[in-house]
Amino acid sequence: MGDDGIAIKIAKNIEGFLKENHIDLIIGETDFEYCLSRIKKEDFLFILDAGYYGKKIGDITILPLDTYTSHKNGYTQHSYSFIDLVKLYYNEIKGYILAIEVSNIDYTLKISKELKVNMNKISDELISIIRKKGKYFK
């Protein structure tokens, strides 16, 4: 798993902010069905994930859900990602994918040192993004 687990760690880090702003936190890891069962068509989603876009480790890439397209060449019932399924079943849903740039995707449970030392900075930046993009806050 390596840095692939950064989204879960950051989500838990900002959980207090999310609760204060009445934002539901769904940590699905690999259970797509559970995540999908919690979504309503009127929801506004922030999907937090690890990503690799060739940027600086810890940088956040913001991708609007309505512009997301899958770049897979073929599909089987086991090759869909959570985002593919959201687009399939909730095509009109609004939101953003917030991808945290990672360094190491490997068979380890440890987050890389570069991400670990910047967890608070990344958390603060994500809170700022959610505040700006989450115009629906009361």
pLDDT in tens, 95-122: 999 999 998 777 767 899 999 999 999 9
Give the three-state DSSP class for 61: strand
Q: Would you tell me which CATH number, out of the four given (3.40.1550.10, 3.40.50.1450, 3.30.70.20, 1.10.1240.10), belongs to the domain 2-133?
A: 3.40.50.1450
pTM recorded for the entire structure? 0.86
Give the three-state DSSP class for 85: helix
Exposure b/e, 108-135, CB count within 10 A at least 16 = b: eeebbeebeebbeebbebbeeebeebee
Tell me, what amino acid is at 20? E
Per-domain residue ranges of the chain: 2-133
pLDDT in tens, 12-25: 999 999 999 999 99
Structure tokens at 5: 């687990």
pLDDT in tens, 68-85: 877 665 555 556 788 888
Mean pLDDT of 33-46: 91
pLDDT value for 39:
93
The burial of 26, by beta-carbon neighbours within 10 Å (0-12 exposed, 13-18 middle, 19 or more buried), is given as middle
Confidence bin at 40 (pLDDT 50/70/90): very high
Q: Which of 3, 24, 27, 21 is nearest to 119 (CA)?
A: 3
What values do phi and psi take at 131, rounded to 5?
A: -60, -45
Maximum distance among all alpha carbons in the chain? Answer: 42
Mean pLDDT of 29-51: 89
Tell me, what amino acid is at 76? T
